[in-house]
Chain A
């Protein structure tokens, strides 16, 4: 009796490539799973970009409010510090009843983390603008909005960009935790690779994460250099 239907008595040798041998570094994995990798990396980038942009949009008014009204600074900084202390897995889990298993959950969690870094840096930058500069601008007839956009904004940029770089790099790394709800970008591949003991997938996805983080950091550094040409002359 044949062990399974269609058995022809011959044993075909399993393919002896790096996928079958479950090696860490595997070119065949890269070529055969290119689309999966691209999709995961794209999701990774989208989640990161969305979170950092929303975080930035919220952090600027918060930092301005914290500087404008002294009483607001304590609660804003305290609250963002508390949010930052909560571990990522717990943060995503706390948002589960609100968002369910969705990408919005991951983005919201990441926004809350980036808020801390951005608010702190922007506020520090705003406070470092010399009072004389502000008075000189006022004396030249600058209104509050023009003072903010033409004088303070350029002076705050270096500190704000430093915060943005840290927030972006952290977000790239934290997206992976989103795998717990199925929206972790490359983290999904790491998670499924762990469950199936697929070494090439875990290593490739991990390396790609670091590559994205470094690339994003360098991109923002380049943007900062372009935006603040006056800081280059001194160094």
Chain B
């Protein structure tokens, strides 16, 4: 109980919210990292997955990349990048690591979504004289959308988690509150930071889940 009340008083202290180490600033950093890296990862992964899925090629790669992403420790990649020449360029090691771990779920889910489109529907579209481009945009993509959005949701949650870990390797974001708490041996601060991170992650998850429900067309049925 003592820890809870100490954590509460840490969270309700106004000075902990303002300034460069304050919660608002760390939250902003976390949000910025998550959004920017999600956009970059989508721009990298989705076109590749859509084209590969449309052509039906590279399936082994698209599916196995998720397993590889799971086996490689995020923390190790963050530290390795920090020690390479990239590490001297401010936030870049963090951004690269974040993108590396957000790409696999995006790629795998979008690829599987494209391949799971009913082959009869695709054949019918071809029979109607659609070109490959038309089939991709107006048949396969809408039907694959539920799984693509699932991939985006998993990637977003993964990004929040990776951005938290980045604090261990000197990056910004809410994780900094936790690592600073460990350095100060202040359990209330560690727990307060953890609560902020957990709430942020759950908010992101539920936001994307709501987005998925509101997605047009088949999204609702398949979800």
Contacts and interface: CB of A to CB of B under 8 A. Distances in A.
B65 to A, nearest CB: 14
Contacts of B181: 93
A89 B203 CA distance: 17
A89 B73 contact: no
B161 A87 contact: yes
B51 interface: no
Contacts of A179: 75, 168
Nearest to B169: A194
Contacts of A206: 73, 76-77, 79-80
Interface in A131-178: 166, 169-170, 172-174, 176-177
Interface string A7-50: 00000000000000000000000000000000000000000000
What secondary structure prevails in chain A residues at the interface with B? helix
B87 to A, nearest CB: 10
B72 interface: yes
Contacts of A194: 79, 82-83, 169
Contact of A96 (B71, B77, B157, B187): B187
Interface string A169-211: 1101110110111000001001101100101001101100110
What secondary structure prevails in chain B residues at the interface with A? helix
B70 A97 contact: no
Given A173-B73, A206-B80, A217-B71, A180 B168 contact: yes
A234 interface: no
Contact of B70 (A82, A96, A170, A202): A170
Contacts of A205: 76
Name, among A90, A174, A177, the residue most crowded by chain B CB atoms within 10 Å (CB to CB): A90
A178 to B, nearest CB: 10
A190 B202 contact: no
Nearest to B192: A93
B71 A169 contact: yes
Interface residues of A, number: 39
B187 A97 contact: yes
Contacts of A82: 202
Interface in B19-45: none
Interface stretch (B119-127, B144-152, B193-201, B211-219): B193-201
Contacts of A94: 191, 194-195, 198
Contact of B75 (A166, A177, A213): A177
Interface string A80-99: 00100111111101101100
A77 interface: no
Given A97-B3, A206-B77, A209-B76, 18 more contacts: A85-B201, A87-B165, A88-B161, A88-B164, A90-B201, A96-B191, A97-B187, A169-B71, A172-B71, A177-B168, A180-B168, A187-B75, A190-B73, A190-B76, A190-B79, A206-B76, A206-B79, A217-B67
Interface of B: 3, 67, 70-77, 79-80, 82-83, 157, 160-161, 164-165, 167-169, 175, 178-179, 181-182, 187, 190-191, 193-195, 197-198, 201-202, 205
